[in-house]
Structure 1
Amino acid sequence: MMRFDPFREIEELTQRMDRAFGGAMNGQAARLAPPIDIHEDEQGLELTLDLPGVSPDDIQIEAENNTLTVQGQRRYDRKEGRTAHRVERAYGTFVRTFSVPAKYDLTKVEASFDHGTLTLHVPRSEAAQKRSIQIRTGGQQLSAPKTVDAEQGDQTEQSQE
């Protein structure tokens, strides 16, 4: 199930308006806002950004205070003696900022860049990992440990094999 993201809706509307009015509004060039996919599994988050035409040297990634920021620049190669009849692709700088819940460890972010796609892996923090905890009653250990999810604090029975 996809979560409602009002900022994504606003960004998509802005991009549609830019395209509808010839890619420029008030004399400014169309904004570069790379699309992103965000997936989550038991290991953590995976953020994938499409950055065609952007050099890895022009990308900066910062993680601070539960915020992950990706910024960069797609350069327009303007050559002398050549006339541009149409320029629809967005050029310039971009910044995408994401709030990351505390259950993820921003000190261990890994980034890879392949064929214009930037992939960021943000692992779950050690404190948020599920683990089995043995329960002792009256000095004896129960046969089935309880699994405690640090995120939700609920308990589910799990057999140990």
Structure 2
Amino acid sequence: MRFDPFREIEELTQRMDRAFGGSVNGQLARLAPPVDVHEDEQGLELTLDLPGVQPDDIQIEAENQTLTVQAKRTYNRGEGRTAHRVERAYGTFSRTFSVPAKYDLTKVEADFDHGTLTLRVPRSEAAQKRTVQVRSGGQLSAPKTVDAEQGGTQQAEQAQQG
């Protein structure tokens, strides 16, 4: 595993939060679960590790090009038990992601399986590649693929002028 200074800082912050009662300035500490983000032709896929979290304790909000995931894992020591060491993270887990406008946050799908939350955010219809047939002298020529992200409007304007 490669050295990741940001992960090391995040883990150190979490340890400090736990060491000082799990609160920062009188508020419960918010822990950031690790995430993998992948992109393909269909859209984005975000995978978060939320071990020990129940599906009912997960809240996902998508608004204004922002995707927020919150989950809560509570610590239950139980009556008559003494804790000698508590190293696992408890409390509220939270991650917020800025999502580019080319993705459609109204169609987010979420799956939770064995402590792993997978979110799929499809590309918006306007950002999808599509085939456009160009007419020349009243005849259709070979179809051309236009990518909305990479100047599709510019290509369409050139086709109208030519």
TM-score range, shorter chain: 0.7 to 0.9
1:110-153 C-alpha deviation (Å, 9 max, x unpaired): 111000000111111111110010111121111x2111110112
Q: SS of the residue aligned with 2:68? A: strand
Equivalent in the alignment of 1:14:
10
Segments of 5+ residues of structure 2 without an aligned counterpart are 24-28, 156-162
Q: Are 1:60 and 2:54 an aligned pair?
A: no
Equivalent in the alignment of 1:124:
123
Equivalent in the alignment of 2:149:
151
Question: Are the equivalent residues in 2 in contact too, given 1:46–1:121 (CA < 8 A)?
Answer: yes
CA distance in 2, matches of 1:22, 1:64: 29
Equivalent in the alignment of 2:84:
85
Report % sequence identity: 76
Segments of 5+ residues of structure 1 without an aligned counterpart are 1-7, 156-161
Q: Are 1:28 and 2:22 an aligned pair?
A: yes
Question: TM-score, length-normalised on structure 2?
Answer: 0.81
Equivalent in the alignment of 2:111:
112
Q: SS of the residue aligned with 2:67? A: strand
Question: Are the equivalent residues in 1 in contact too, given 2:129–2:148 (CA < 8 A)?
Answer: yes
The code of the aligned residue for 2:11 comes to Q
The code of the aligned residue for 2:41 comes to E
1:1-27 C-alpha deviation (Å, 9 max, x unpaired): xxxxxxx954541313544x6942x44
Question: How many pairs align?
Answer: 145
Question: Are the equivalent residues in 2 in contact too, given 1:108–1:123 (CA < 8 A)?
Answer: yes
CA distance in 2, matches of 1:108, 1:14: 31
| Cα deviation, residue 28, structure 1 | 3.3
Question: Are the equivalent residues in 1 in contact too, given 2:14–2:31 (CA < 8 A)?
Answer: no
The code of the aligned residue for 2:151 comes to G
Structure richer in helix, relative to its length: 2
Question: Are the equivalent residues in 2 in contact too, given 1:31–1:90 (CA < 8 A)?
Answer: no
CA distance in 1, matches of 2:83, 2:139: 80
Question: TM-score, length-normalised on structure 1?
Answer: 0.81
Q: CA RMSD in A?
A: 2.2
The code of the aligned residue for 2:123 comes to R
